[in-house]
Structure 1
Amino acid sequence: MRAIKFNILLILIILNFSAIAQIKVTSNTFYFGTIINIEKFAGKDYRYSLELKSTETDSLKKIVIQTRQVINKDKMLDANATKDSVKDTLWHQINVSNKINLKAKEMWLYATFEGNGNFFADNLKFEVKTEDGNWKEVPIKNADFEKHDKNPLKGFLTSAKIPDGTTISLQPRTDAVKGKALLIKSTKAAIIWKTNYGSNRRTGKYCNVNGIKIYYEIYGTGEPLLLLHGNGQSIVDFTKQIPTLAKHYQVIAVDSRAQGKSIDNKSNKLSYDIFAADMKVLLDSLHLKKVNILGWSDGGNTALIMAIKYPEYVGKLIVMGANLNPTENAVEKSMLNQLKKDFKMLQLKEDAESMQMARLLLMLSTEPNIKVEDLHKVNSKTLVLAGEKDVIKAEHTKLIASNIPQSELIIFKRETHMIPNENASLFNQTVLDFLNEADVKHP
């Protein structure tokens, strides 16, 4: 889970949430990093340093080191980063320094590399300033990159995939320091433009729903396909689905109430019935009915309610990781326990963001309350999906599928609740096969 959070953070930093239609990305961005516990150093000054050198550089070249302090999984502090890349071919020790927040539990340290060339790194250090004014180093395994020739970054968190044209190895240092250094060699970097899903001024619009502005974006042409995301997510979480699906359908991606750009500052209780009613108003404003719907997690719950209450609005239905009720019969106990802990923690806070998240978690832990017999009312062709390692129990997913008259069930082997992100190609093809009425493969 920590690796997933770390990956997501790097993606968010790269995208930087710029509210423009497209963002410029270097095709071979690669990073490595580590996470250390800093609770016992609360309030002290720190510095993170890394020795760096680059050669054979091009105009795309960029090397940045960054830190991020983390209070808990819902609270991350602003990142601190170096401002400039290494601009010559000499070894430099690059530093990031600041003060450790009194509430911070973890420090995330990482380095990112872009462009073509040979990028060397050595002697990663994290130090805290003691009361006598000296710097004390906090031990980090493999920080000098002297070991593990076959796996130079063993023990570090890294990009999920090594970019094409990039190799990683250990090479002898040729200066007075001697020893080995990490070498990241890249040869196929290029600038690419990516659509900024979730913050696209060119296509983003709002629909007024009972005083709440619901944000949505539309891509592609053809039969409409409504995308409904999970709890605490947004359109951004369908980044790996939208470009593929929009080649075949008119994709309507929505930020559900109180999430993403659909701001809801009210204090009343949220519910999936309200979310479903919101979508009905949105579709009315677009003059659409019989819309295909893909709902993931909470979005799947909303989609089921739409199919039950507003059947004339629902064409084909796909639900991924949905549930009828948040009980131990449906959801893994560890997940339910974590929800309770997170909710109690958020109740102690008074800032607007925490209060809104508390409303979402309260809904997640008390809803939906869909009766099994209500599933018999679903007259849409339905594909019920879940991962073999999903937080939704397999028997519950099978219960949903078996009570929808025209349904098909697929439980993806070895996959989790996050398969739309973790194995997008398999997930997307499964969705398209169902929508196109092809023979859906059972992975």
Structure 2
Amino acid sequence: MKKNLGFFLLLWFFLGYSQEKTIVSDWTSFTQAVNVENKPNWNFRITVKIRKDNEDNGSNCGLWCRINNKDESTSFFENQYYGIQVTHEWKTYEIKGTINPSAKTMNIGAFAQNNGDFYFDDFKLEVNDGNSKKWIEIPLENSGFEKDITSGGWFEGIHSQKIKHVKHFTIETSDYKPFSGSKSLLIKGRGIIGTMPHGKYMDVNGIKLYYETYGEGEPVLMLHGNGQSISAFMNQKDTFSKKYKVIIVDCRERGKSTYDKTKELTFDIQTEDIKQFLEKLNIKKTKILGWSDGGILALSMAMKYPEMVDKIACSGANIFPEGVKDHDLKSMKEMLVSLTKDNKDHKNDIFIDLLNLDLKYPQWKYEDLNKIQCPSLIIAGDNDLIKTEHTVKIAESIPKGQLAIIPNANHYVPEEKPELFNELVIDFFENK
């Protein structure tokens, strides 16, 4: 599977927004919340019919479920987008699990990502108390979408996000080939970067890297994070392409880029990918904007190939795994154990590769950063999953390092506060 996979996309995107607003993202969800406080330790199963109509452009959709506890923590989360490939034909998809004794709300949703037409029909929730084989259906409002979707029951995002709308998506009912009844749910994605018709592939280092370019002028290379792809920079593309030739690439094993299963995923091999990629584009020198793991790659390029790097701006980067906050590092390790244990038919191989990448690498020392001679802007949110003291030390260790800690922000500064982030980076790039 060549998708936007990884730890961060699995969970953190569902936790990252707190204000009701229209956001720019490459995904959306349409959700119904069900109170399950009176069903402790009950089993549940959710089914839905799904199909899609779009070209084979890397986009997909799926069923997802998240259970919130009374303290707002998460006791269950599964998004089938990451393990299925929806086709043009209607098919039944299912999620099963157990309701935690501390559970309060079960969020059931349709998930769609990137460009395409995604259809959903006949959502169904059933439970049993574990002592009986009989399943009891809990009615979902407008489960077959025969009524107008604005009549209630369903909403975009989940309650903790309070998303008003996700730009580039429309959500409506459709009478085109429903599974049953006269209508189904239709989510349309349009104009989302990362699956655009003008995208190209480049053969480098034994793989194919997918990339898209926008604008003209001095080059700016944008490198995404661990579980992301080109679409991570949806909030940056338009602004930066007014001044620069923006080049955004899917790193190996992400988005539409391929990978060599016989080679370990490391930052070293990805650095070589980027170096060869720039050479084939005949780019002698470039500015680099890197987010999370992309920031690590920007630091690596500046250390290994300084002649190719003009300036770097890195958001949420670390130089050794312990730079991640202890709680988040522990969660990643626990997820790795779980995915490895449940890796039937190698279905979790890419997840495991991505987690191992950040749990094992990089292994630099602060003094290694002394090699970086280009101006370097080191950015993080004040509530980033990277330790603030680690971010500060990175900036201090680079001879021409500058530091920006963004208030009231987390690891998703580029999409959480895009106007501030874009202005900050462009001002740094433009400053002579």
Q: TM-score, normalised by structure 2?
A: 0.67
| Larger mean Cα displacement after TM superposition, 289-298 or 421-430 | 421-430
CA contact (8 A) 1:221 1:246 kept: yes
| RMSD (Å), alpha carbons | 4.2
CA contact (8 A) 2:45 2:97 kept: no
Query: In the alignment, which residue of structure 2 is the partner of 1:372?
Result: 366
Give the secondary structure class of the aligned counterpart of 1:195: coil
Runs of 5+ unmatched residues, structure 2 = 1-9, 49-61, 67-75, 100-104, 112-122, 142-154, 168-187
**Identity percentage of aligned residues:** 34
Query: In the alignment, which residue of structure 2 is the partner of 1:245?
Result: 240
Shift of 1:309: 0.5
Counterpart CA distance in 2 for 1:399 and 1:304 is 14
Matched, 1:108 2:89: no
Counterpart CA distance in 2 for 1:371 and 1:194 is 44
Shift of 1:101: 3.5
Q: 1:344 aligns with which of 337, 347, 358?
A: 337
Give the secondary structure class of the aligned counterpart of 2:213: strand
Higher relative contact order (CA 8 A, sep 6+): 2
AA of the residue aligned to 2:406? F
Give the secondary structure class of the aligned counterpart of 2:321: coil
Residues 1:104 and 1:387: Cα distance change in structure 2 (over 3 Å): same
Matched, 1:5 2:14: yes
CA contact (8 A) 2:44 2:127 kept: no
Looking at CA atoms only, which structure, 1 or 2, has the larger radius of gyration?
1
AA of the residue aligned to 2:273? D
Q: 2:429 aligns with which of 424, 428, 435?
A: 435
Shift of 1:344: 1.3
Deviation per residue, 1:364-420 (Å, 9 max, x gap): 001111222221111111111001001111111111111111121000011101111
Shift of 1:423: 1.4
Q: How does 1:134-149 map to 2 (within 5 A)?
A: 135=136, 137=138
Q: TM-score, normalised by structure 1?
A: 0.65
Q: 1:272 aligns with which of 267, 270, 290?
A: 267
AA of the residue aligned to 1:34? A
Query: In the alignment, which residue of structure 2 is the partner of 1:236?
Result: 231
The number of residue pairs the alignment matches comes to 338
AA of the residue aligned to 1:408? Q
Query: In the alignment, which residue of structure 2 is the partner of 1:390?
Result: 384
Give the secondary structure class of the aligned counterpart of 2:95: coil
Deviation per residue, 1:88-129 (Å, 9 max, x gap): xxxxxxxxx9785345779533599xxxxxxxxxxx996658
Q: 1:417 aligns with which of 406, 411, 414?
A: 411
Q: How does 1:43-82 map to 2 (within 5 A)?
A: 68-69=64-65, 72-73=77-78, 75-76=80-81
Deviation per residue, 1:229-281 (Å, 9 max, x gap): 11121111111111111111111101111111112141422111111110000
Residues 1:365 and 1:39: Cα distance change in structure 2 (over 3 Å): farther
Counterpart CA distance in 1 for 2:189 and 2:334 is 41
Residues 1:45 and 1:102: Cα distance change in structure 2 (over 3 Å): closer
AA of the residue aligned to 1:287? N
AA of the residue aligned to 2:194? G
Query: In the alignment, which residue of structure 1 is the partner of 2:284?
Result: 289
Runs of 5+ unmatched residues, structure 1 = 17-28, 48-65, 81-96, 113-123, 141-151, 165-191, 439-443
Matched, 1:34 2:33: yes
Give the secondary structure class of the aligned counterpart of 1:199: coil
